[in-house]
């Protein structure tokens, strides 16, 4: 039994499909089919997470059925925008994990039926198919981009029309499915008022951002800004740095340690409450090849053994973007490996001269102990029918920020 029918191939990839007097769009099924010249004309040279080689790498993510869709928007036949989609199939066992803690709290006869289904032998069947405008691997606004050929409001209207068209052609309408647009730091009124996309907004776990005061030269200067309690705590953590040999790895070194690296990554992935996308084994090696000096991979060795790693992007002087980490949790328990990784990010950010570090949205409380502050993120979701609403409700509750206590390590004058 399948709640969602398999996707059908459709002849919808013809160029310049008209959506207005001056506007048209072209959809691509694979990154390799994209018109590189037109795509790059929109993204420019600084939007690294929209670069075609990186998008090709994402297509390899394989723990769920992941398909990507790419749209070029034209005005007067000149490229003015792009839209990026990830189409994800969730199997019944995936939602079993998601609903396990929520299902008891929802008083619904229909949900009781789903509970029985989730316990059935058909847990490999596709239960829920979601079309995401955005990148599920990265926090932030990576679902679309425009240039100055089109105004914001006009583009947002076109975006909603394209989302409606693509979702319909993916044979989603009428099935257990939803469309998600992620992540925004402030509401977009045009989307909220759209008749093409009738979604509801909700908040997700905030992005944790550490903003540096001007003039910092060393991590020691940074820690001096802390109150005595947190300063002493930071010093005790940093004393343990001597237990690690830390090294930035080249692409060939990442490839050499690929099996160890992936095991450490899986340690973290397996502890995640909700497992959305699992990276392919060659993800870190390929990222280094694609981004070269913009993607940094730091290995942490203890007694000659690789016990952890951190990755980040130094795209520009505005912010350092932290990425995936890997941990040996036994070493972490004894030597505060995770917190040393966090402080090493701070050290890297100061040395790179960036204005801020984007820490992402996990482990919020511990990240505030080193000075990061939450920046709220908003998403929009549109369930497609009654049954999808039943699943979307606990899905939203799961994604909403949970209660936690923000810490302020700085002296009072820094508040």
> Does residue 138 belong to any structural domain of this protein?
yes
> Does residue 178 belong to any structural domain of this protein?
yes
DSSP state of 226: B
Burial 20-41 (b: 16+ CB within 10 A, else e): eeebbbbbbeebeebeeebbbb
What is the chain's Cα-based Rg?
22
DSSP state of 173: T
Report the DSSP beta bridge partners of residue 170: none
Among 216, 155, 160, 236, residue whose Cα is nearest residue 192 = 160
Indicate the pairing of strand 177-184 with strand 126-133.
parallel
State whether 27 and 111 are in the same domain: yes
CA 122 to CA 102: how far, in whole Å?
A: 21
Q: Other C-beta atoms within 10 Å of 264: how many?
A: 22
pLDDT digits (tens, 9 = 90+) for 330-357: 999 999 999 999 999 999 999 999 999 9
Range of the structural domain that residue 170 is part of: 17-203+377-399
CA 176 to CA 128: how far, in whole Å?
A: 5
Burial 220-258 (b: 16+ CB within 10 A, else e): eebbebbeeebbebbeebbeebebbebeebebeebbebe
Contact (Cβ atoms closer than 8 angstroms) between residue 212 and residue 355: yes
Record the tokens describing residue 375, joined without a space. Answer: 């920046």
Q: Where residue 281 sits, what CATH number does that domain have?
A: 3.40.630.30
> Does residue 406 belong to any structural domain of this protein?
no
State whether 343 and 382 are in the same domain: no
pLDDT at 387: 66
State whether 125 and 37 are in the same domain: yes
Is pTM beyond 0.85 here?
yes
State whether 294 and 388 are in the same domain: no
> Does residue 185 belong to any structural domain of this protein?
yes
Q: Where residue 69 sits, what CATH number does that domain have?
A: 3.40.630
State whether 188 and 328 are in the same domain: no
State whether 173 and 86 are in the same domain: yes
State whether 69 and 177 are in the same domain: yes
Contact (Cβ atoms closer than 8 angstroms) between residue 234 and residue 223: yes
Report the DSSP beta bridge partners of residue 64: none
> Does residue 140 belong to any structural domain of this protein?
yes
State whether 311 and 387 are in the same domain: no
Token pair 């290995």 is found at 299
Q: Other C-beta atoms within 10 Å of 161: how many?
A: 18
State whether 120 and 248 are in the same domain: no
Among 31, 83, 97, 40, residue whose Cα is nearest residue 61 = 31
Which segments in the chain show pLDDT lower than 50?
Answer: 1-9, 101-107, 109-110, 113, 117, 120-121, 172-174, 414-415
> Does residue 362 belong to any structural domain of this protein?
no
Full DSSP string of 304-346? TEEEEEEEEEE-SSSEEEEEEEEE-HHHHHHH-HHHHHHHHHH
pLDDT at 203: 87
State whether 167 and 242 are in the same domain: no
Domain total in the chain: 2
**Crossing angle of helices 109-118 and 386-399, rounded to 10°:** 80
> Does residue 22 belong to any structural domain of this protein?
yes
State whether 68 and 170 are in the same domain: yes
CA 228 to CA 409: how far, in whole Å?
A: 9
pLDDT digits (tens, 9 = 90+) for 259-303: 999 999 999 998 876 666 788 899 999 999 999 999 999 999 999
CA 210 to CA 222: how far, in whole Å?
A: 11
Alpha-helical segments (H) within 193-257: 219-223, 228-239, 251-256
Spatial neighbors of 104 by CB under 8 A, at least 6 apart, are none
CA distance from start to end of the chain: 57
> Does residue 93 belong to any structural domain of this protein?
yes
Residue 368 to residues 142, 207, 230, Cα–Cα distance (Å): 25, 11, 11
State whether 227 and 198 are in the same domain: no
Record the tokens describing residue 156, joined without a space. Answer: 């947002």
């Amino acid at each position: 039994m399948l709640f969602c029918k398999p996707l059908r191939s459709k002849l919808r990839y013809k160029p310049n499909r008209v959506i207005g007097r001056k506007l048209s769009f072209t959809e691509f099924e694979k990154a390799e089919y994209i018109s590189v010249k037109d795509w790059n004309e929109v993204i420019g040279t600084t939007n690294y997470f929209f670069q075609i080689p990186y998008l090709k790498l994402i297509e390899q993510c394989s723990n769920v059925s992941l398909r990507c869709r790419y749209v070029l928007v034209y005005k007067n036949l000149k490229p003015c925008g792009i839209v990026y989609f990830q189409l994800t199939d969730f199997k019944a066992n995936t939602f079993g994990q998601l609903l396990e803690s929520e299902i008891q709290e929802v008083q619904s006869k229909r949900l009781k039926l789903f509970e029985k289904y989730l316990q059935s032998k058909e847990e490999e069947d596709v239960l829920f198919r979601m079309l995401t405008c955005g990148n599920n691997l990265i926090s932030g606004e990576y679902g679309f981009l425009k240039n100055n050929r089109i105004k914001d409001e006009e583009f947002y209207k076109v975006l909603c029309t394209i989302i409606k068209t693509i979702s319909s052609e993916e044979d989603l309408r009428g099935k257990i499915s939803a469309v998600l647009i992620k992540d925004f730091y402030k509401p977009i009124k045009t989307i909220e008022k759209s008749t093409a996309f009738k979604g509801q907004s909700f908040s997700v776990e905030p992005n944790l951002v550490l903003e540096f005061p001007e003039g910092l030269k060393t991590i020691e200067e940074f820690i001096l800004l802390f109150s005595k309690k947190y300063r002493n705590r930071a010093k005790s953590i940093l004393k343990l740095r001597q237990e690690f040999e830390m090294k930035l790895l080249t692409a060939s070194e990442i490839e050499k340690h690929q099996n160890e690296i992936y095991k450490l990554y899986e340690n973290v992935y397996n502890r995640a409450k909700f497992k959305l996308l699992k990276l392919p084994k060659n993800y870190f090696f390929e990222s280094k090849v694609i981004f070269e000096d913009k993607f940094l991979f730091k290995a942490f060795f203890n007694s000659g053994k690789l016990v952890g790693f951190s990755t980040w992007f130094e795209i520009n002087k505005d912010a350092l973007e932290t990425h995936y980490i890997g941990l040996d949790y036994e070493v972490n328990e004894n030597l505060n490996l995770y917190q040393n990784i966090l402080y090493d990010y701070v050290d890297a950010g100061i040395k790179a001269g960036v204005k801020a570090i984007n820490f992402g949205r996990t482990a919020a409380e511990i990240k505030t102990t080193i000075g990061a502050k939450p920046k709220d993120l908003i998403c929009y979701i549109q369930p497609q029918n009654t049954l999808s609403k039943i699943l979307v409700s606990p899905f939203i509750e799961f994604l909403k920020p949970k209660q936690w206590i923000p810490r302020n390590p700085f002296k009072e004058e820094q508040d």
